[in-house]
A and B are shown apart, each in its own frame.
Chain A
Amino acid sequence: MDILHNLAFGFEHALTYQNLMFCAIGCVVGTLVGLLPGLGPLATISLLLPLTFSIPTTGALIMLAGIYYGAQYGDSVSAITMKIPHASSIVACIDGYQMTLKGKTGLALFTAGVSSFIGGTVAIVVLAALAPALGEVALLFGPADYTALMLFGFVCVSFVTTGSLLDGLAMCMVGVLLGQIGTDINSGMQRYTMGLSILVDGVGLISVALGCFGIAEITKNLDNREERTPFSGKIHLIPTWPEFKRIIPSALRGSAVGSFLGILPGGGPVIAQFAAYAIDRKVSKYKDEIGHGAIEGVAGQAAADEAAARTSFIPLMSIGIPENAVMALMMGAFIIKGIQPGPNMIASHPDLFWGLVASMWIGNCFLLILNVPMVRYLLSIFKIPYAVLFPSILFFCCIGTYSVNSNLDDVFITASFGLAGYIFLRLSLDPAPLMLGFILGPMLEENFRRSLLLSRGSFDIFVKRPISGTLLGLIALFVIWQLWVFLRSTRRKGPEPKPRASAA
């Protein structure tokens, strides 16, 4: 009954007035920003991250977590009502929007809210049970194993988020190289600083994130110049009992799928919702209706989305390796707050860990009682024309960048990443793996150099250790499989564009 004891301890920390308030603010603001087209969880977190600097550590992390799942809910709301897809809500566009066309918007929103709640609750039980145990496994990891694990993460993320191993890996490597800017920890030598004093401590996380996800996205949206008509239909939130009963089984299935996929490297909400949707189409009692606006098509994926978002915290908090770009950003936030996520985090900051876990459940309740009924007011954000919105987002980018070091030079760094990010977006290179590479780069170098030091310069160490050997073997298999797929597609049908996964 350790878990219950620990959770009770966590609730003690999460249920202070202050932390409750941070949680509520995070959920609402996250939902609001997440609603906006083009601003997914990554952009939302990086925009709001600087505002948490002056808040106490536990409160800041609770608020950030709230922003994260708030943004996810906001994404699915804009997907259901207006068919605006974000990375984390592509599936919600299918059945959710079909339900809106049938005039059942309220039911879809309610289903998404309740399913998220169920998914989140299941995931938190998994999180509370698994994270401490996995933390003990992580203590067995040596530097070579960490190196292999990070490379494995790169390969998985590249494949899942961009659909192309080559593009994603290249972006990871660009991120790693950007992480090299600054002072080398081992020798104290300054690398790639070009003599600029602002680069001595490296490029700021906020500058990279705001440049690539904030400014680049705004510029891209300006190019498209679509005017969105705000949603104006009626919203009846309360479902009938038979409708409500249909939510439960799908949501439970989605929770299980999401919790599992959220833990795997490269996993997370995007892949979880596709998997949950696919499973519901196979096994649901109403599988014929799915695709034409069925409750199950919304419930399963919403639960999986939310569950995966929660369980993706497990590798970060127990092993110390983020498994996707959002978690990489979260890790950056932890480090800015002076906390190193990893096997020792749970032992050294139990109040923080269990407080965060408990606050996730509280945040779930807030989503349900606060955001679901307020949806129709939140949707009024779409009445703001883009001409007003984008200068405001730029303002938040500037204020955020400035307030990290109180240095105006950082704004220029952010602007240059905006330029680079725009080029990446236009060349259809997804900047999400770049973020992961940027955060993991210094850790990768550290562990790589330490492994070689231990083995006296021999690369054997990566193959001989069972954990790293297995992981590297998996990577090799994956690369060979991808090469084979590519060769076969070019040989059989001649030159043709490579099919891209719709998850991109």
Chain B
Amino acid sequence: MGRMSFVFQRLALLVPTAIGVTIITFFMVHLIPGDPAVTVLGQHANPSTVALLHHQWGLDKPLAEQYWLFIDRLVHGDLGQSLYYTVPVWGLITGRLPATLWLLCYAAVIAIVISVPLAVLAASRKDAVRDHVVRVVPLLGLGLPAFWFGLILQTWLGTKLRLFPVTGYGQGFIGHVHTMFLPSLTVAIALCPVLIRSLRASMLNVLGADFITTARAKGVPAPRLLVRHVLRNAVIPAVTVLGINIGYLIGGTLIVEQVFAVPGIGSLMISGILQRDFSVVQGVALVFGVLVVLVNLLTDVAYAALDPRVRFGR
């Protein structure tokens, strides 16, 4: 199968995935007790005003009909109106998607920048002290809760040393790079341990291969050997690990965005839940679902680009 048809086939898979996401989020959101009309009107709202809003929003219709209306609008490219802010959900999401994408990409870059040298360091001498240190210390990253680690970074690098802004998104490219460093690092730290371990393991695997022995025998210098021959071959499984984990971390941005007041769709989701803003929660969940699928697709494509032996197929 050609590369393009593979991509199209995977994109087509988006449709059932998205439908699944809409069904789950639609009904789960409605399982949460609470009433968006009361949230909007305040605790003192009188029942007739609440009923009027329910009618305006279509919340007095049967759930199945509400779902059908939601899908109908969705097909026409309309995610509906935010119940809380009474503006289109799509506008709220597009205004905030860049911050989340920045966070994810920046975190991936930081994770790679941290992981690759450490994995090379560890793999270059198996079972040496540096190998053990590299294998054990980053594991802390897995155990550190993002809200706590983020707070530590904010307190030390933000308020005490004033090296980075403690919150926000920044303005312009340099502003984003500067301001988003701490939240991205927080996300990256959780990503590093798995990345380092998988990279190290596959490097050790490659190091034992015959072609490496041949390269060594031909007198290829050690640094060149590690980077050109070992790393390129070892990176393939690591890309898969990175892809899967980024999908997983998309969910993690909810907390990180909250802690660092990043105006992304993760914090939009949280406020949507707190405000019982059903349409916002559904819209964001859908975008998250699509993002995860896209990241997986990119991973597969990258996999093939790195390893010409990989062929697209079922």
Q: Do A and B come from one complex?
A: no
